[in-house]
Chains A and B, each alone.
Chain A
Amino acid sequence: DGGITQSPKYLFRKEGQNVTLSCEQNLNHDAMYWYRQDPGQGLRLIYYSQIVNDFQKGDIAEGYSVSREKKESFPLTVTSAQKNPTAFYLCASSGRQGARIYQPQHFGDGTRLSIL
């Protein structure tokens, strides 16, 4: 079954610690995205990548970093510079037709990050 796998499902961060959230897809999609969801708010885009070895900042990139070394993987690191990291993090992917990247329609089941 094709899909997006996020791990872990729950993650706890200590003060001053960096943590990495995993996102893997087997849909052969070119584009991948990271969103943050806070209670009562819509999803906000952190970073996105349309091709391997390239990525762009979204609306709330400060305190986060990403890499895209493989097409199927797009890990997100929440650094100690992110002072309010408690949230639900969602990874998404989308395919391409020619030069056009489709908008995300496939989402993982999320990682819930909390501060210890």
Chain B
Amino acid sequence: KQEVTQIPAALSVPEGENLVLNCSFTDSAIYNLQWFRQDPGKGLTSLLLIQSSQREQTSGRLNASLDKSSGRSTLYIAASQPGDSATYLCAVPQTSGSRLTFGEGTQLTVNP
């Protein structure tokens, strides 16, 4: 059974800092890996989806990398801003297709 783990559970940084969020998964036979953002009391917003054949995916100040062989993904946020404060979750689809297995999330606080 696929298990997804995110470290750290919470992170607090000063504005302007570059930071890395980590996601690990136990079964490397994945189709893709997805990163989501969740604001307090809100639903999830999809940020980046990396296909299994890709190593990296970029969107603005966000860069996600994927290393299937080691079962790891990182989300790099450059020049962090207070508006980046949110919970970031990673998820992988189960081998049966559309069902996702989620990590517990990393709660990020960027202090002005």
* Chain A positions within 8 Å of B93 at CB level: 103
Residue A60 CB within 8 A of the other chain:
no
Partner of B104, one of A41, A48, A90, A112: A41
What is the number of contacts between chain A and chain B, taking CB atoms within 8 Å?
61
Cα distance, A29 to B41, chains bound together (Å):
24
B5 smallest CB distance to A (angstroms): 9
Interface residues of A, dominant DSSP: strand
Residue A40 CB within 8 A of the other chain:
yes
Partner of A104, one of B32, B98, B105: B98
Complex contact A43–B102 (CB within 8 A): yes
Residue B61 CB within 8 A of the other chain:
no
Interface residues of B in 76-102 (CB under 8 A from A): 89, 91, 93, 97-102
Cα distance, A80 to B105, chains bound together (Å):
30
Residue A12 CB within 8 A of the other chain:
no
* Chain A positions within 8 Å of B105 at CB level: 42
User: Residue-by-residue, is B40-59 near A (CB-CB < 8 Å gives 1, otherwise 0)?
Assistant: 01111110010000000000
A67 smallest CB distance to B (angstroms): 20
**Size bracket of the A interface:** 20 to 34
Residue A19 CB within 8 A of the other chain:
no
Residue A105 CB within 8 A of the other chain:
yes
Partner of B98, one of A41, A43, A90, A103: A103
Residue A75 CB within 8 A of the other chain:
no
Cα distance, A57 to B99, chains bound together (Å):
11
Complex contact B43–A102 (CB within 8 A): no
Partner of A107, one of B32, B41, B44: B44
Complex contact A102–B99 (CB within 8 A): no
Cα distance, A31 to B93, chains bound together (Å):
15
